[in-house]
Amino acid sequence: MFLKSLKFIVKNHTMKNIILLNLLLLISTTTLCQESQNIESQNNNTENSIENEVSDLTYLLNLNEVQILQITDIVSGINIKNAQVSTMNLVQEDINEMLESNAAAKSIMILKILNENQKVIYLESLN
């Protein structure tokens, strides 16, 4: 009788461990999927932001193909730098200053690839 009880307890204990292990696996898989979806969503938002900005500038300035590619690179690069700055462990005032500096650098780089007529329109759009 004692042996049967012991077998039952061991069997029951093993089943509990299997159930707990499966539950843990399910929870960690779900968490991983959610994190993956969050990252994908952030990437899509960044890409949409870049596309929208370049599209607006293309419409405003009547950019040619080469200018579109160059401006896409500029906007993309600045967005990457801004994302890095935003995650730094700095005082918010310093972060804001760096973001403003990046925005100014972006404008200067864009101005360098525009013709004179486009420069005038672009500068007016900044004000």
Residue type, 23: L
> Do residues 53 and 110 touch, judged by C-beta distance below 8 A?
no
Model pLDDT for residues 28-63, shown as the tens digit of each residue: 777 766 766 666 666 667 678 889 999 999 999 999
What is the rounded average pLDDT of the residues 116-123?
Answer: 95
> Do residues 62 and 72 touch, judged by C-beta distance below 8 A?
no
Q: How many CB atoms lie within 10 A of CB 99?
A: 15
Question: Has residue 70 got a pLDDT over 90?
Answer: yes
Q: What pLDDT does residue 1 have? A: 56
Model pLDDT for residues 76-110, shown as the tens digit of each residue: 999 989 988 888 888 989 999 999 999 999 999 99
Q: What pLDDT does residue 22 have? A: 64
Q: How many CB atoms lie within 10 A of CB 67?
A: 19
What is the rounded average pLDDT of the residues 6-22?
Answer: 62
| Token pair 């969050």: residue | 38
Which of these, 81, 110, 105, 108, lies nearest to 95 by C-alpha position? 81
Question: Has residue 2 got a pLDDT over 60?
Answer: no
- Helix (H) / strand (E) element for 17: namely helix 2-61
Say if pTM beats, i.e. exceeds, 0.75. Answer: no
Question: Has residue 15 got a pLDDT over 80?
Answer: no
6 falls in which pLDDT band (50, 70, 90)?
A: very low
| Token pair 């968490």: residue | 31
